[in-house]
């Protein structure tokens, strides 16, 4: 089977599947490459993350510049996603000089289930950061990105933007059979949110543009590779977003809740090749059961509706399961994680979760119950940001995988 290189529009189901999944994978790869940068640009005040009455010791990355002159923050990127292979990268962020170190005017203390604690304080506005990032993996996948994040009017308006390019080598599954591909893609992302009064709620909108070209192949027998052709595609969508963020910090929370609802519309009227809806809902809840014991809970679900290409189908995303391995018209995940701070800067944790996919599309065939579990260790690398760095080992339905985790894995 061979396809000519042309614009992808109103073609067969199989070609929709090929084109769609390449867009999802480039988006996932760009997200991973920009993960450390995203952590930086969304941070709030993190002093609440320290353990009570513990000595103030600086970590290896804490001696960074402060004050009116701004500061540079280099962050190594460790890529451990099984779909792309192991890799390394670097993110470099410039933290702009703070114009006002006071709390956002009118914003109350963090609204969490534990917010009546007497030592709670208001959350400072996130810093303004400009950064670049890039990375390379063992299977030849590479990506580079640039981004900017800012908050205005005493943190009543938040903005984030990014531009990224990726060259991805990976595989996806049709009827449980793997198909390989090489993908080259350009992505533009915009995110603007407005605070509702003096609350912790934000409403806003998002824009995503993806322009990609890819080549596909499959392997017959042990080593016979057959080319399936190459396809170009555009995908453009806009979203309405609602967010509540009551975490004590966004890197590795000890207390608080986070809720997010995104409703996306991808449409040919915007200049893309597809017409469909995509909804995503996430709830995270963190509880400090003891000064050194933290329980984290996660509930996440997503789905598609309308004449959607197959790439819009969500997948189960958990440690121990490769990206795109289990897909359906809808997907959901529940997870629990317990972190025990055994020393001043060291912690161990255990986690478990279950995922499920739904829908009657014949292209996807998967097991009903998808479980994963594992354990890990953490080092408190940057106390002023509440940032932990560590290693996780997770067993999924098919194999055992290891991960380098920066901040909270969710």
Q: What is the pLDDT of residues 267-279, one digit of tens each?
A: 999 998 889 999 9
User: C-alpha distances in angstroms, 234 versus 214, 237, 390?
Assistant: 12, 10, 37
279 with 302: CB under 8 angstroms?
yes
pLDDT at 126: 76
272 with 19: CB under 8 angstroms?
no
Higher pLDDT pick, 101 / 177: 177
Classify domain 13-58+69-117+127-406 at the CATH topology level. Porin (2.40.160)
Mean pLDDT (the chain) is: 78
Residue with tokens 């192991």: 86
d(CA 264, CA 283): 18
User: C-alpha distances in angstroms, 139 versus 88, 142, 230?
Assistant: 12, 9, 20
Phi, psi (deg, nearest 5) at residue 197: 60, -130
pLDDT at 22: 39
The H or E element spanning position 38 is: helix 35-41
Local confidence band at 65 (pLDDT 50, 70, 90 cut-offs): very low
Structure tokens at 28: 């996932």
Name the pTM for this structure: 0.74
Average of pLDDT values for 364-375? 82
């Amino acid at each position: 089977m061979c396809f000519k290189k042309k614009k992808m529009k109103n073609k067969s189901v199989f070609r929709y599947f090929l084109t769609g999944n390449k867009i999802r994978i480039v988006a996932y790869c760009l997200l991973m490459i920009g993960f450390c940068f995203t952590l930086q640009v969304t941070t709030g005040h993190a002093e609440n993350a320290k353990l009570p009455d513990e000595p103030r010791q600086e970590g290896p990355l804490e001696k960074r510049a402060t004050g009116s002159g701004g500061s540079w923050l280099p962050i190594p990127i460790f890529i451990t996603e099984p779909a792309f292979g192991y890799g390394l990268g670097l993110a470099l962020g410039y933290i702009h000089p703070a114009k006002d170190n006071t709390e956002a005017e009118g914003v109350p203390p963090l609204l969490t289930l534990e917010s009546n604690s007497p030592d709670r304080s208001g959350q400072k506005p996130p810093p303004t950061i400009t950064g670049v990032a890039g990375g390379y993996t063992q299977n030849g996948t590479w990506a580079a990105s640039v981004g900017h994040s800012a908050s205005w009017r005493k943190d009543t308006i938040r903005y984030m933007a990014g531009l990224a390019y990726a060259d991805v080598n990976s595989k996806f599954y049709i009827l449980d059979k793997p198909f390989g591909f090489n993908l080259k893609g350009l992505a533009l992302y915009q995110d603007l949110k407005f605070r509702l009064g003096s609350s912790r709620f934000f409403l806003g909108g998002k824009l995503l543009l993806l322009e990609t070209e890819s080549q596909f192949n499959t392997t017959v027998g042990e080593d016979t590779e057959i080319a399936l052709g190459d396809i170009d595609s555009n995908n453009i969508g806009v979203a309405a977003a609602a967010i509540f963020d009551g975490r004590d910090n966004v890197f590795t929370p000890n207390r608080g809740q986070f809720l997010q609802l995104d409703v996306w519309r991808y449409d040919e009227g915007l200049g893309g090749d597809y017409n469909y809806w995509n909804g995503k809902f996430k709830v995270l809840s963190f509880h400090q059961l003891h000064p050194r014991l933290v329980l984290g809970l996660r509930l996440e679900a997503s789905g598609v509706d309308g004449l959607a290409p197959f790439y819009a189908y969500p997948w189960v995303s958990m440690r121990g399961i490769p990206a795109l391995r289990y897909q359906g018209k809808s997907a959901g995940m529940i997870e629990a994680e317990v972190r025990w701070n055994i020393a001043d800067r060291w912690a161990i944790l255990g986690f478990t979760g279950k995922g499920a996919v739904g829908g009657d599309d014949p292209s996807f065939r998967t097991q009903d119950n998808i479980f994963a579990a594992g354990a890990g260790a953490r080092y408190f690398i940057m106390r002023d940001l509440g940032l932990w760095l560590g290693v996780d080992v997770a067993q999924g339905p098919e194999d055992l995988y290891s991960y380098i985790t920066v901040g909270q894995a969710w």
